Each structure stands twice: as C-alpha cells, then as structure tokens.
Amino acid sequence: MHRKIAVLAAVGALAAPAAAQAHVTVQPNAVPAGGFTVLDVCVPHELDAGATTKVDVKFPAGFAEVSYQATPGWSVKVVKSKLATPVQTDDGPVTEAVTRMIWTADNAKAGIQPGQFRDFPISVQVPGKAGDALTFKALQTYSTGEVVRWIGGPDAEQPAPQVQVTAAADTHAAATTPAKPAATNAATPAAAKDTADGNGLSIVALIVGGLGLLFGIGSLVVARRAARPAHEREEEREGALV
C-alpha cells in the first residue's frame, strides 16, 4: 500500500511541472531589434471542462502596425491609441500605435477545447533595442466564465508572456564589404602576359620548323642527284651545254 502511494506521489510530482508550464506564451521568445517577424500568441486550454473563448492581449509600447492571420471561427479586434509624440518613419509620421488585440471565438464549439492549444500569428516590426524585454499581458477567458490573468512577473504562478530583444542583424555591412577581388585582378594581367608569350613562342617554333623542312627537302634533292649513275649526270651536263 505504501509503495502504491509513493508511486502515485512520484507521478503527481512529475505531472505538476508540466501543468505549470502550460502558460500563454508569445513565440519565438527572442527576436532581433528592428526586424520584421511573425510572433505566435500560443494559448493552451488548461481546464478539464469548458473551452477558451476569448484571448485579450495588451501590447507593450512601440508597435506602430500589426497584421494578423485569420483564424477560422474567431474574430479579431485591433485596438489603437493616439501617441503623445508622433513617430517619424520612412513612410511618414505615425500618430497611432497598437495597444491591444482581442481574439473572440464565435461560440464555445469553435473555442479551444480541453487538451488543445491554438496559435494566433501576428506580423510585426520589433521595437526597442538589444536587451529589452517586451511584455505582453494577457487575459484568457473560458466559456465557464473564469478569467485567468497572465500578467505576473517571470517567476509568478501566472506570468505574462515575454519576448527578449536581441541585437539587430548587420546585413548592411555584409552587403557593402568587398569580396577581395585583388587576387583575381592581379592574376588577370599575368594570365594575359603568359598567353602573349605563348603565342610568340608558337610563331617562332613554326618558323624554325618551316626552315628545317626546306633544308631537309634541299638535302634530299642533292642526295638523290649525287646518287644517280655517272653517265646520267654526264648526259645532263651535255644537255645543259646544248
């Protein structure tokens, strides 16, 4: 009996951390500053009954524009607020910023059921600088009427989702750094010089070969004439005299 209780206690201890980790989160949890990226608001349903029918997320400052992916069975409301000081961008001044987004299920059947989770993708430009922590406070409403407030610190029982801002990718430096063409440029004149020298040597070789061929032909003629009988050479000289 005691052994059975110990086993059940061990199983419960292992299950407890897993349940504690079933929080509303925003993924990925680290993104580069200034980059355009897609963040997923990940919402698990932790209760054994009912369904998650509403997710209300409060945005940190700095999100001028946010677009979202349509989710079947859910409607989305984007709440914007006036900025005290307009922000200048390449497209002109921005006078409003996104402060909240609210996802609402059409009905309990379309909501997130027990044992399920759902991602709500949003496309954003990451504000802030490296080292900043962007906190997205969230309220999760169940069809039973219960509301879970994910607004605490990182070590709280119900922590608010956080995203860490990392250093921006330095794509400009990579694009403007030359690819060290010096070795290629230096090799090009040398190759041209080698080609010119090779062409000159080929011409000389052809001339020498031609002279050698003429010399060989002349030698062959002289040798053949010298090899003829004496009376033929005599007749040839007499014919030349006539």
DSSP string, 159-217: BPPEEEEEPPP-HHHHHHS----HHHHHHHHHHHHHHHHHHHHHHHHHHHHHHHHHHHH
Say if residue 152 is in the same domain as residue 188. no
Say if residue 109 is in the same domain as residue 149. yes
Lowest-pLDDT range of 11-20, 191-200, 229-238: 11-20
pLDDT band at 175 (very low <50, low <70, confident <90, very high): very low
Give the per-residue pLDDT at 1: 47
Stronger pLDDT, 17 or 24, i.e. the higher one: 24
- Examine the fold and report which residue of 106, 134, 169 is the final residue of a domain before the chain moves on: 169
Stronger pLDDT, 30 or 187, i.e. the higher one: 30
The overall longest dimension of the chain from CA atoms, in Å, is 147
Give the per-residue pLDDT at 84: 86
Read off the pTM.
0.63
Q: What 3-state class would DSSP assign to 3?
A: helix
Give the per-residue pLDDT at 196: 52
Give the per-residue pLDDT at 10: 42
Query: Is 132 within the bounds of a domain?
Result: yes
Say if residue 155 is in the same domain as residue 209. no
Q: What is the mean pLDDT of residues 62-86?
A: 94
Sign of CA dihedral 111, 115, 120, 126: positive
Report the chain's mean pLDDT, rounded to a whole number: 78
Asked if residues 109 and 74 have their Cβ atoms less than 8 Å apart, the reply is: no
Query: Is 17 within the bounds of a domain?
Result: no
Asked if residues 145 and 11 have their Cβ atoms less than 8 Å apart, the reply is: no
The total of structural domains in the chain comes to 2
Query: Is 176 within the bounds of a domain?
Result: no
Say if residue 29 is in the same domain as residue 112. yes
Q: What 3-state class would DSSP assign to 59?
A: coil
- Examine the fold and report which residue of 112, 139, 169 is the final residue of a domain before the chain moves on: 169
On the question of pLDDT at 183 being above 60, the answer is no
On the question of pLDDT at 64 being above 80, the answer is yes
pLDDT band at 198 (very low <50, low <70, confident <90, very high): low
pLDDT single digits (tens) 113-170: 999 999 999 999 999 999 999 999 999 999 999 999 999 999 999 999 999 999 987 6
Full residue range of the structural domain in which residue 230 is found: 182-241
Query: Is 16 within the bounds of a domain?
Result: no
Q: Read off the CATH number of the domain in which 47 is found.
A: 2.60.40.2230
pLDDT single digits (tens) 215-226: 565 565 555 555
Say if residue 42 is in the same domain as residue 120. yes
